[in-house]
Amino acid sequence: MTLREPLPEKIKQPVRQEISYPWVERLARLGYAAKGLVYFIVGLLAAQAASSSGGKTTGTSGALETIVTQPFGKFLLSIVTLGLIGYALWRFVQTILDPEHSGEEMNGKRIIKRLGYAFSAIAYFSLAVTSIKIIMGSSSGDSDSVEDWTIYFLHQPFGRWLVLLLGLTVIGVGISYLYEAYTGKFRSYFKLYQMSQTEQIWAMRLGRFGIAARGLVFGIIGIFMMLAAIQLDGTQARGFGGALAALEQQPFGPWILGIVAFGLIAYGMYCVIEARYRHITN
């Protein structure tokens, strides 16, 4: 299917019941928007680094540090923090209630998906805590927590195998994102009846490009985690910013980094579309 062809009329969607608590929906939508802003900044800084125009390769916490340095930065970061908390809460709701698959039988795929929601909830709640520390001026937003946690786990019993398993899992997540970008199944989560044909087309374009870029970065993070486990060296692990920096160091690195950076910018814009049109169900 080319981008100029009409989109399919229907994609099979799970039975959904719209959420019954408006404040939960508002927090969830603010969360998608906050997530989009963070990824947009990560991509923008990486694009500037790729073009040697003053940016840097950084992760999501580094993006928060960038926000707080802007005019009214603490106020803006406070809103983003509220959004991140809202997004984490929404992920917890998805973990416990599985609202987007009501009526379906439990199976291995759904269990794995719920675990993914749980890890996402923890990750974004941790990011919100980091954001609060930045607002209070007690933390730098550019630390590599992936490296810190990898070093910690490697010093535990069976730590090498645990880190190896985590690395394989992160690679699996990256591959799942690439598959999602290829199939375009994320389209089923939108309120298509509220979107024009043009909006649907751009949601698909931005979603495919952005989710694929994010999947590539996750794959690189997983590879570095496996390398750390094999070498028993936690400093080999890389977070989001480290993965982007590794891309920059490859042959044709600025070009590769630039493409991935624009993909992350696209993902940020896609998240904003999610904030407006995604089904928020309960």
- pLDDT tens, residue order, the chain (282 aa): 444 444 444 444 444 545 556 777 888 899 999 999 999 999 999 999 888 777 778 888 888 888 888 888 889 999 999 999 989 998 888 888 766 654 455 566 677 777 788 888 888 898 898 889 888 887 655 556 788 888 888 888 888 999 999 999 999 989 999 999 999 989 988 998 999 999 999 999 999 999 999 999 999 999 999 999 999 888 888 888 889 989 988 888 889 999 999 999 999 999 999 999 998 865
pLDDT attached to residue 8 = 46
- Nearest alpha-carbon partner for 217 in 250, 245, 181, 182: 245
Tokens of 162: 């645990």
Tokens of 82: 């509220």
3-class DSSP state for residue 158?
A: coil
pLDDT attached to residue 10 = 47
pLDDT attached to residue 140 = 57
Q: Given CA atoms 265, 270, 276, 281 in this order, what sign does their dihedral have?
A: negative
Number of Cα atoms under 13 Å in the Cβ half of residue 192: 16
pLDDT attached to residue 153 = 87
CA distance 113 to 124: 16
Torsion of CA 79, 80, 84, 86, to 10 degrees: 30
Contact yes or no for 234/228 (Cβ under 8 A): yes
pLDDT attached to residue 2 = 45
Find all residues with CB under 8 Å of 2, minimum gap 6, and list them: none
CB atoms within 10 A of CB 131: 29
CA distance 276 to 26: 10
Contact yes or no for 39/206 (Cβ under 8 A): no
Full-model pTM:
0.84
226 to 11, 146, 240, 242: CA distances (angstroms): 37, 12, 15, 15
| DSSP secondary structure code for residue 281 in this structure | B
pLDDT attached to residue 47 = 92
Beta bridge pairs of residue 190: 278
pLDDT attached to residue 142 = 54
pLDDT attached to residue 84 = 92
CA distance 234 to 75: 36
pLDDT attached to residue 234 = 85
Contact yes or no for 264/46 (Cβ under 8 A): yes
pLDDT attached to residue 4 = 46
| DSSP secondary structure code for residue 9 in this structure | S
- Nearest alpha-carbon partner for 57 in 250, 242, 252, 215: 242
CA distance 172 to 4: 32
Contact yes or no for 3/205 (Cβ under 8 A): yes
